[in-house]
Amino acid sequence: MAIRTFIEAIRDGMAEEMRRDWTVIVMGEDVGKKGGVFLATDGLWGEFGDDRVIDTPLTESMIVGASIGAALNGLRPIAEIQFADFIHPAFNQIVSEAARLRYRSNNGFTVPMVIRAPYGGGVHGALYHSQSVEAFFTHVPGLKVVIPSTPYDAKGLLRTAIRDDDPVLFFEHKKMYRSVRGDVPEGEFAVPLGQAVVRRTGRHVTVVAYGLMVHYALEAAERVAEEGIEAEVIDLRTLRPLDRATLLSSVRKTGKCLVAYEDNRFGGYGAEIAAIVAEEAFDYLDGPVSRIAGPDVPGVPYNHALEDWFMLNPAKIADAVRRLAAY
């Protein structure tokens, strides 16, 4: 085992897969000599060269479109979108092309590619460097959506995503890049897609989260535990495919479910979780399926006080757990 930061685990995962498989390439803005805006690809250009670590123009549609073409011709590209906020110019390529090529070709073609993008707020990034965009892509059949919360999962899930024969959106909360550390095995290991994990067991309320919100939910659970409320925290890890079994087993045990996510509340990913729980665990519920999420405003404010107002934190999640537990 070695202690690695979240971003070090991602960098290690890419490097090891590139050493193992010559078809794995990296494409994106400043991913080469500069090593990326967050240094996620630092050192890869020096080891693998221009042919496999490719700087691109500032054109997200081209980054994803060229990656699709590369994937169709025997390569396994990792396309880096500098910020998830900038992924929208590539939306058509992702949703209308990459996601549908297997279906459209009756399994004649696959698109083995990973699209990495830092997402989320709380870093004073304001409107165009703080967005959470996962709900757009979980809606689309043919796409897999992964959001790890630990260095172990970041590396293990990335390895699995790279080896998958279908397109994977791999979102990384930028606030966790250097603030989250953890044990990561030095040997080869992988974490399968579609398996959630119970980060904390409890019997009164199930808290469902992913990414940074897992850490906030765990801290919230510690706070309410002092008051006799035992919250169970589920880390989804993979938003699509979703591990329904772990989710429903927990809710059927606790009878109450709170979904914590940073994105805007209306139409967010938490709404799908709420619908699944209401449809498939209704008879077990002792309270309303609840959500705590970002407010429905167009963006995360730059002003520090307003950014704090927008963002979730452990105190806000703890209050939501208390309200639901008391229902």
For residues 57 and 49, the answer to whether their CB atoms sit within 8 Å is: no
Q: Which of 190, 111, 110, 185 is nearest to 148 (CA)?
A: 190
Q: Which of 27, 18, 61 is nearest to 159 (CA)?
A: 18
CA distance 152 to 89: 31
Residue 233: strand pairing partners: 200, 207
HSE-up (13 A, CA, CB side) for residue 106: 0
Q: Which of 21, 100, 108, 93 is nearest to 62 (CA)?
A: 93
How far is the CA of 118 from the CAs of 34, 70, 126, 133, 151, in angstroms? 17, 23, 14, 10, 15
Residue 55: strand pairing partners: 28
N-to-C CA span, the chain: 44
- Among the listed residues 88, 124, 129, 304, the single catalytic one is 129
129 as an active site residue: the answer is: yes
Any idea which residues carry the catalytic annotation? 129
